[in-house]
A and B are shown apart, each in its own frame.
Chain A
Amino acid sequence: MMKKIFVTAFLLMVHIMMFAQNEIAMADEMRSNGKIYVVVAVVLTILFGIIIYLVRLDRKISRIEKNNS
């Protein structure tokens, strides 16, 4: 009987510990309703904008180098 109570108490403690761990707030909600993908899309758009700008600059400078030599 005592053993069972201990086991139950132990499992309960483990459960509470797991629960306490899960209480740490993360962006779970944004993940479940898919809104995090919006953030990724926005950041990727900015990155691609910067990269397209860099590629165009790179091409332009290559042309100047060719004309100059």
Chain B
Amino acid sequence: MNKWWWKIACILLLVYTIVAGLLWQNVPRLPQLNETVRNIYFHVCMWWAMMILFGASLYHAIKYLRFNNLRSDIMSRQYVAVGIVFGLLGYATGSIWMSYTWADPNLPASASFSEIAREPKLIGAAIALLIYFAYLVLRQSINDIDKKARISAVYNIFAFAFLFPAIWIIPRILPSLHPGGEGSEGNPALNFKDLAPGMRLVFYPAIIGWTLLGVWITTLKIRLLLVTEKNMLQ
């Protein structure tokens, strides 16, 4: 294993996240949310890790367009794949969380569904993920290796740019059940006025820990591909 230290940091941060995130009594007692407020260390961090991995993918896509090195294309593709996994985990954890906090407990679950399905944050996140699915499909449909790399790098830039209106802007200007909807300012998790000070001590390390886990998985995939595709790269 090369460059151990950040992998050890990742393990330590994740252990800290789970132990302190589940046990530490520094969370506010809030109605409706109750103990589920701890989900912020897990659900929100999935989206953070996804954003950072997609950002890394964008970096390598631009690098490919600049230097035409197929290594960058492989890296860009793998960062997207792992980013999508984290995005899907964020979506799945979000749907579990919302079914306990947004759904009306007096009604059957199906009755609250139409209300929840209209949630702009959900729709925006779904659109953003679908655009990244299309990235993978687009790559599969082009046979010429250089053309594939160039077109997908350009598409990657577009996809990353589209994340901002889909996830960050549109849900903020519409009425929304999700934190950070109409009326609140900025990012609810990063806003110093919103997030309880004690929770920040776990939340920020949690973001770093989960992101490092994503990067670790991605580097493994990249290293394996660089070995198997050695002939193509030369």
Contact = CB atoms under 8 A, between A and B. Distances in A.
Interface in A38-69: 39-40, 43-44, 47, 51, 54-55, 57-59, 61-62, 64-65, 68
Given A58-B220, A61-B223, A26 B15 contact: no
Interface string A16-27: 000001101111
Nearest to B217: A54
Q: How large is the interface on B (under 10, 10 to 19, 20 to 34, 35 or more residues)?
A: 20 to 34
A42 to B, nearest CB: 10
Nearest to B223: A61
A47 B34 CA distance: 25
B interface, over-half SS? helix
A13 interface: no
Nearest to A68: B227
Contacts of A22: 29
B30 interface: yes
A40 B19 contact: yes
A23 to B, nearest CB: 9
Nearest to A25: B34
Interface of B: 1-2, 7, 11, 14-15, 18-19, 22-23, 25, 29-31, 34-35, 216-217, 220, 223-224, 227, 230
A interface, over-half SS? helix
Contact of A54 (B19, B220, B223): B220
A25 B29 CA distance: 8
A54 B6 CA distance: 14
Contacts of A58: 1, 7, 216, 220
A62 B2 contact: yes
B23 A26 contact: no
Given A21-B29, A25-B34, A47-B15, A40 B22 contact: yes
Contact of A26 (B1, B35, B223): B35
